[in-house]
């Protein structure tokens, strides 16, 4: 099976960008599956050289050829054309959030619409925090890093003292509480909550 290459003048910039995006996604999918160009060529009947050019955005493949390559990679062809999901959250647009705890101020850093991950910056006053009742969150994992000060975190029956630069990750289903044990210094921490969607 042969394919017509792009002309020497090169395609329009938007078309060129789409070719590059399709090629990049095909190459990533192939590498994720541990497949070689040779194995894709054998499965599809296309030449190795042509597949290599498609992956590098140098050749335009027909719908039939793209469908064959996607079939070899067991991926939906529509994934090649999905626009990248990019979320932006400008600092000027963020409002303080009152999420939980005493002596705590939160700012949600992750943009609205981002459902698989949430990033929260928290300032904790001396002696402030979330206690005494442990809580669980309806997410998969929590990651926390101490950017300034200290944070005492108790997960189930185990207590951890995190200092500036320390981080930890744990399953959010475990009951936990946290506080700033310092009597004089505020703590600044960042939470990352992840969910499988």
CA–CA distance, 192 with 180 (Å, rounded to integer): 18
> Under a CB-based contact definition with an 8 Å cutoff, are residues 11 and 5 in contact?
no
Per residue in 128-147, pLDDT (tens digit) is 998 788 888 888 999 999 99
CA–CA distance, 69 with 39 (Å, rounded to integer): 11
Per residue in 74-113, pLDDT (tens digit) is 999 988 888 777 777 788 888 778 777 889 999 988 887 7
Domains identified in the chain and CATH numbers? 13-80 (1.10.260.40), 91-194 (2.60.120.10)
> What letter would DSSP give residue 68?
H
pTM score above 0.85:
no
């Amino acid at each position: 099976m042969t394919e017509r290459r792009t002309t020497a003048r090169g395609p329009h910039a938007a078309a060129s960008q789409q070719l590059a995006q399709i090629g990049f996604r095909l190459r990533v999918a192939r590498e994720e599956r541990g497949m070689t160009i040779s194995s894709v060529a054998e499965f599809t009947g296309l030449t190795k050289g042509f597949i290599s050019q498609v992956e590098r955005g140098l050749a335009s493949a027909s719908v039939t050829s793209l469908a064959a390559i996607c079939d070899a990679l067991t991926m939906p062809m529509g994934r090649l054309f999905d626009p990248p999901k990019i979320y932006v959250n400008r600092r000027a647009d963020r409002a303080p959030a009152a999420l939980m705890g005493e002596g705590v101020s939160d700012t949600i850093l992750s943009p609205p619409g981002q459902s698989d991950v949430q990033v929260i910056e928290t300032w904790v006053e001396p002696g402030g925090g979330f206690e005494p009742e442990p809580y669980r969150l309806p997410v998969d994992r929590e990651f926390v890093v101490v950017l300034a000060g200290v944070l005492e975190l108790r997960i189930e029956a185990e207590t951890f003292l995190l200092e500036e630069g320390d981080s930890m990750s744990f399953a959010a289903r475990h009951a936990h509480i946290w506080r700033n044990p310092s009597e004089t210094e505020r703590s600044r921490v960042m939470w990352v909550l992840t969910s499988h969607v």
